[in-house]
Amino acid sequence: MVIKPKIRGFVCITSHPTGCAAHVQEEIDYVASQGSIEGGPKRVLIVGSSTGYGLSSRIVTAFGFGADTVGVFFERPSSNGRPASAGWYNTAAFTQAAEARGLFAGNINGDAFSNEIKQQTIDMIRDKLGQVDLVIYSLASPRRTDPETGEVFKSVLKPVGFPFTAKTLDTDKKQIAEHVIEPATEQEIADTVKVMGGEDWVLWMDALKEAGVLAEGAGTLAYSYIGPEVTHPIYRSGTIGKAKEHLENTAATLTAKGIPAWVAINKAVVTQASSAIPVVPLYISLLFKVMKEKNLHEDCIHQMQRLFAEKFHNGKPETDHEGRIRLDDWEMKTEVQDAVKSLWPTVTSENLEAISDFAGYQTDFLKLFGFGLDGVDYDADVEVDAPLDA
Ligand code: NAD
């Protein structure tokens, strides 16, 4: 069938198999162009491996270190002629490329918060790799079912303590508007921490350790975000920020238990998760404009390459005084933030395209679903079924 983008709010409900494969190949080519990375873990588990930062982490560890990988994700296969989700096609393309390179790439599709998926992952590691040397935890999810009680918790993106008038960009209509977002209740804060905090990270690491599939000295890495003042009420000081603080504190808890754990603070990029956060798409459009002008622009794959080639140092990461790896160092440069800050109050629906990189935002957004890739014939018939052992 011929597949075109169908955008509904901040998601695209179609995805293109050939385009997703081309996107994955672009990332692989970039990593290959940087040369192999000395040392580094050779057996890596990535939880949340099919899109965004998790996918790029998988690509860098496989094609930079030559690591065998196990990836866990929650994606939809094609059915009744309907395309699969982008992460499904990304994983199919990654697996093919990794296997062609002689690397093991095992895939587990299902709810990472469940005991069953943890057990399946342990069984696959034991069977195929023996143990893993590094665990990357890169989940972004709006809900979590507690594995013991079956209760479903939902995360919310709200300010804490006071209402916030958010300047937001409707990316579909190219309209900027101000919306008041009411503060979260105590229950909503707790629920968001339950979903996006560190509780499940600990459950993963305990289960892997107990099963004996963590190699001696194996470490773990999760991702977080801080960002500038304009996003603080909705991000860092909001419900998601409370969850991220919990995740960051969990690194210390894990380390104290004998599992070396770190959190990398990554920069803002366009992913399925970030496009759902109020304020963030507008901030990213302005940030991209400034960072591209200053020759500092990075996408997921550039960030992950810099993480593993420069900042992670084979288990001895370069950290700030709070023990966090700072990949947002370029985003948070004073010259970058001053420029974004001065543009922020002036941006309107009318001047959006002139003073921001909204075009770049849209290009990246479509690429997440395999659209707009060079060399892909979007008028050609494509097969929507993609084989994937998952
Ligand atoms: P993403 O939406 O691209 O990826 C989320 C991944 O989680 C996918 O592989 C998805 O399949 C998987 N997933 C979601 N729910 C699952 C479930 N129940 N079971 C199994 N897999 C599940 O998101 P992303 O933006 O790459 O986010 C990854 C991490 O990076 C998050 O911790 C996020 O906060 C962090 N981060 C993102 C940004 C950004 O700007 N996007 C910036 C800094 C940090």
pLDDT in tens, 168-204: 999 888 999 999 999 999 999 999 999 999 999 999 9
Q: For residue 10, what pLDDT is reported? A: 84
CB 102 within 8 A of CB 345: no
Q: What is the DSSP letter of 378?
A: T
Q: How far apart are CA 290 and CA 298, in angstroms?
A: 12
> Cβ contacts of residue 323 below 8 Å, gap of 6+?
251, 252, 262, 263
Ligand 1 centroid, distance to 51 Cα (angstroms): 7
Q: How far apart are CA 218 and CA 136, in angstroms?
A: 11
**CATH class held by domain 7-367:** alpha beta
Question: Looking at 230-234, 245-249, 251-255, which range is the least confident one?
Answer: 230-234
pLDDT single digits (tens) 256-266: 999 999 999 99
Binding residues: 48-53, 74-75, 111-112, 139-140, 225, 244, 269-271
> What's the rounded mean pLDDT across residues 282-302?
97
pLDDT of 68 higher than 90: yes
Active-site pick, 89, 137, 235, 283: 235
Ligand 1 centroid, distance to 372 Cα (angstroms): 22
Q: How far apart are CA 9 and CA 27, in angstroms?
A: 27
pTM of the model: 0.97
Mutate to test the pocket of ligand 1, among 10, 45, 74, 90 (most ligand atoms within 8 A of CB): 74
The pLDDT confidence band at residue 143, using thresholds 50, 70 and 90, is very high
DSSP character string of 284-321: HHHHHHHHHHTT----HHHHHHHIIIIISGGG-----T
| 115-124 and 199-210 helices, crossing angle to 10° | 40
Pinpoint the alpha helices (H) of 159-311.
186-196, 199-210, 239-256, 280-293, 300-306
> Cβ contacts of residue 216 below 8 Å, gap of 6+?
none
Is 137 noted as a catalytic residue in this protein?
no
pLDDT of 276 higher than 90: no
**Which SS3 state, helix, strand or coil, does residue 1 take?**
coil
Q: How far apart are CA 340 and CA 356, in angstroms?
A: 9
Q: For residue 314, what pLDDT is reported? A: 67
Q: For residue 9, what pLDDT is reported? A: 83
How far the first Cα of the chain sits from its last, in Å, is 24
Please list, residue by residue across 174-195, b when 16 or more beta carbons sit within 10 angstroms of its beta carbon and e when fewer do.
eebeeeebebbeeebbebbbbb
Share of the chain above pLDDT 70, in %: 99
Nearest Cα residue to 369 out of 2, 21, 1: 21
Share the mean pLDDT of the chain: 95
Ligand 1 centroid, distance to 140 Cα (angstroms): 3
φ/ψ region of 208 (left if φ > 0, alpha if ψ in -120 to 50, else beta) reads: alpha
The pLDDT confidence band at residue 390, using thresholds 50, 70 and 90, is low
pLDDT of 151 higher than 70: yes
Binding residues for NAD(+): 48-53, 74-75, 111-112, 139-140, 244, 269-271
Ligand 1 centroid, distance to 351 Cα (angstroms): 31
Q: Which residue minimizes the CA distance to atom 18 of ligand 1?
A: 111
Nearest atom (ligand 1) to Cα of 244: 34
Which residues lie across from 69 on neighbouring strands? Answer: 44, 105
**Chain Cα centroid distance, residue 106:** 19
Q: For residue 172, what pLDDT is reported? A: 85
The pLDDT confidence band at residue 54, using thresholds 50, 70 and 90, is very high
pLDDT single digits (tens) 295-351: 999 999 999 999 999 998 767 899 999 999 999 999 999 999 999 999 999 999 999
> What's the rounded mean pLDDT across residues 94-105?
98
Q: For residue 316, what pLDDT is reported? A: 80
pLDDT of 389 higher than 80: no
Ligand 1 centroid, distance to 342 Cα (angstroms): 30
> Cβ contacts of residue 388 below 8 Å, gap of 6+?
77, 88, 91, 92, 95, 107, 109
> What's the rounded mean pLDDT across residues 374-383?
96
Mutate to test the pocket of ligand 1, among 53, 235, 240 (most ligand atoms within 8 A of CB): 53
Residue with tokens 């996006």: 196
> Cβ contacts of residue 74 below 8 Å, gap of 6+?
50, 87, 109, 110, 111, 112, 141
Domain boundaries, the chain: 7-367
Q: For residue 39, what pLDDT is reported? A: 84
Binding residues for substrate: 225
Nearest atom (ligand 1) to Cα of 272: 2
Q: Which residue minimizes the CA distance to atom 16 of ligand 1?
A: 74
Ligand 1 centroid, distance to 195 Cα (angstroms): 12
Q: Which residue minimizes the CA distance to atom 36 of ligand 1?
A: 224
pLDDT of 102 higher than 80: yes
Q: Which amino acids bring their CB within 6 angstroms of ligand 1?
A: 48-54, 72-75, 87, 111-113, 138-141, 223-225, 266, 268-269, 271-274
